[in-house]
Amino acid sequence: MVHAIRAGSALEPARTVIVTGHGAAKVKDAALAYDDQLLIAHQAEQNGTAHAVAQAQAALSGFEGDAIVLYGDTPFIRAETLAAMAEARKEHAVVVLGFDAADPGRYGRLLTKGDQLDRIVEYKDASDEERAVSLCNSGVVAADAQVLFELISAVGNDNASGEYYLPDIVEIARSKGLSAGFVTCTEAETQGINTRAELAAAEATLQGHKRAEALENGVTLLAPETVFFAYDTYVGRDTVIEQNVVFGPGVTVESDAVIRAFSHLEGCHVSQQSIVGPYARLRPGTELAEKVRIGNFVEIKNAELAEGAKVNHLSYIGDATVGKATNIGAGSITCNYDGVFKHRTEIGQQAFIGSNTMLVAPVKIGDEAMTASGSVVTTDVAAGALAVARAKQVTKPGLARKMFEKLKAAKARKSKEAK
């Protein structure tokens, strides 16, 4: 659905209406999560495509201009194709998008006379001669909004399925003396999704497009077939992406960065010359400034790291700010959750967080401050100070040997008793 919305947005529409049907609540939530300005109309009973479009009439009340009907399960219609349809609308009252199918199968057929579209016939209602036509209907339609709804109001359901077919508006328009035309695109552009198998095939198509786009834009992909992009992933020129990297929605990576193998990024921003991974996870709200280093098995969430900061090994930094050139030692954690609320940790510039430090938020670590390895820090540390928060080590000479001898003797007794 979002792919269709994004394609249509290139035409700068005054209104975008999403018609929901099966799974309406989930579709509505997903649509509004993407853009809360979208208008929602609901088709309570699924009585065909014309009936579905008719549900949008109230949302377009008072609107003057063209409407284009797109489908949420046809994600690859290009903005350029829609622009061609908008241009064709200058000559025709109704414009339909068609494609030449290698195997027309059960698609509806476009029946034409010269450059005019005479009518569209559904496969179930087509004669053998009509089924031999290879120019197929994508379902995408452009027309003046008010004309569109007038034509839909005249659509009947006297057909094999008893449904109200949107393609019938072409024949109705011609009967009213209105011109109908068509624009064509490649069959790949109209790839639809009706099954899980087709969803997987569409995902493969999308990834192919995104990988080719990245390479064309000067991104280095060491193993392109193993990198997975989201619909909105942006990666700058001269960035290197290693093997088996996954991008979730909302990721921007600037130029000359390195995303190392087996990393997962979502909802984050990575600035120039930063290095992420291998095996790193950047979660939503992560902001990395220039030359930040995020190393192996590090997780960052809702945190801002200033220029040159380093979190190299086995650490979790969540709900935090980390100052310029600060180093976070291995195994360190910002303890941000108390079971009910999240709390922030603030770490200043050029600080040094010793390995295995627990920073119990809310807490502030000043500029050039240091924590001793293994500390549990629960109060603020002033700039330039050293915080040591661990029990004093006690060493008992020879006690380890005595304990091992005692334990081995106990084990021998148990083994003898078992026999």
Dihedral sign, Cα of residue 148, residue 150, residue 153, residue 159: negative
Helix H or strand E segment including 212: helix 196-216
Cβ atoms of 289 and 272 closer than 8 Å? no
Confirm whether 3 is a catalytic residue: no
Instruction: Tell me the angle at which helices 168-175 and 145-153 cross, rounded to the nearest 10 degrees.
Output: 100
Q: Which of 3, 22, 92, 313 is catalytic?
A: 313
Residue 92: count of CB within 10 angstroms of its CB: 21
Round to whole Å and give the CA distance between 332 and 350. Answer: 16
Helix H or strand E segment including 34: helix 24-34
Round to whole Å and give the CA distance between 419 and 401. Answer: 28
Round to whole Å and give the CA distance between 87 and 95. Answer: 10
Cis peptide before 278 (omega within 30 of 0): yes
Instruction: Please give the full DSSP string across 239-263, using - where no structure is assigned.
Output: -EE-TT-EE-SS-EE-TT-EE-TT-
Long-range own/partner contacts, residues 325-331 (CB < 8 A, 24 or more apart): 325/349, 325/350, 326/350, 326/351, 326/352, 326/353, 327/351, 327/352, 327/353, 328/353, 329/353, 329/354, 329/355, 329/356, 329/357, 329/373, 330/355, 330/356, 331/355, 331/356
User: Where would I find the H helices in 69-141?
Assistant: 79-88, 128-131
Residue 368: count of CB within 10 angstroms of its CB: 16
Cβ atoms of 349 and 370 closer than 8 Å? no
Round to whole Å and give the CA distance between 68 and 144. Answer: 9
Residues with catalytic annotation? 313
